[in-house]
């Protein structure tokens, strides 16, 4: 998804730089993007997607944590970090991968 957004942004910037209208066309595109992003339908869809992503994150985190605990119980020496370290590393990785909701 992020790659598509970057591509679309690149196409838009290329279009603006290639046109003679320049600033007017850019302002028009920004206004249309804001209007689209701020529409109730898009905001509702974004809320639904965010809720699903949060649910999937929580479920995935629980599954991974359960598997790590099972491996630790078997005596696997490669996984001797404390649970707090594992959870903190997981949360840090997720935080780095999040895309801001108000990108436009």
Task: Kindly report, residue by residue over 53-98, the tens digit of the pLDDT.
Answer: 999 999 999 989 888 888 777 765 544 555 555 566 667 666 666 6
pTM listed for this prediction: 0.44
| Rounded Cα gap, residues 58 and 5, in angstroms | 26
More confident residue, 103 or 20: 20
Residue 81's pLDDT is what? 53
Inter-residue contact 92 to 66 (CB < 8 Å)? no
Structure tokens at 53: 């992503």
Q: Alpha-carbon dihedral of residues 70, 74, 76, 80, nearest 10 degrees?
A: 60
pLDDT at 51 over 80: yes
């Amino acid at each position: 998804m992020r790659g598509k957004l970057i591509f679309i942004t690149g196409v838009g910037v290329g279009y603006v730089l290639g046109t003679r209208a320049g600033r007017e066309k850019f302002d028009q595109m920004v206004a249309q993007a804001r209007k689209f992003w701020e529409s109730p339908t898009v905001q509702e869809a974004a809320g639904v997607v965010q809720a699903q992503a949060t649910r999937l994150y929580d479920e995935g985190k629980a599954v991974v944590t359960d598997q790590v605990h099972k491996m630790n119980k078997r005596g696997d020496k490669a996984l001797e970090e404390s649970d707090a370290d594992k959870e903190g590393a997981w949360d840090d990785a997720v935080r780095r991968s999040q895309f801001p909701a108000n990108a436009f």
